[in-house]
Amino acid sequence: MKQLLYIPFCIALLLSCKKDTMEAMNAPELLSVQGKWYLTAVEKNAIDGRNKVWEPIDLAKADTLIFRSDGVMLDTDGKPRCCAPGMLIINDQVMPVKPQVALPPNPLCVLVNCVNCPSWEIELSGPEMIVTPCNNQRLKYVR
């Protein structure tokens, strides 16, 4: 008699399981940041200390961010970026970064001492992106 009760229980258990969806991968916010971004300016305090100004970056020192459609950040050589956050807040929308494809190891990350930074805030408007990593100074990127 108990065996008859186990059958519906097992069926209900199997039907209640669901796989991770690819909603995060197809989210419009993540798709809008997908691609290469080039650092153009860094926000600095003005001399009076009240206003902040954007200081242009020399092209030789410019950083490049590459976002995949799942939110993973890559270096220019296609390896995962060291100290990348696990979550992106894009225009006030929280997007967890979940790699959909295995990432190759980055040997440079062994040499880096990462500070815990769980999320980056991103303000996106057209071809311009302003990134605030871990409440540090803001960085302006363009496509």
How confident is the model over 4-19, as pLDDT tens digits?
666 766 676 566 655 5
Number of structural domains the chain divides into? 1
In a domain, 6, yes or no: no
What is the pairing mode between strands 35-45 and 52-56? antiparallel
Asked if residue 9 belongs to a domain, the reply is: no
In degrees and rounded to multiples of 5, residue 95 shows phi and psi of: -125, 110
- Please name the residue that has the structure tokens 């961010």: 65
143 vs 11, residue with greater confidence: 143
Judge whether 10 lies within some domain.
Answer: no
Looking at the domain assignment, is residue 8 inside a domain?
A: no
Residue span of the structural domain in which 72 resides: 22-142
> Does 11 reside within a domain?
no
**pLDDT per residue as tens digits for the range 82-140:** 889 999 999 999 989 988 888 888 898 888 888 878 899 999 998 999 999 887 889 99
This prediction has a pTM of 0.73
Instruction: Summarize the confidence of residues 76-87 as an average pLDDT.
Output: 89
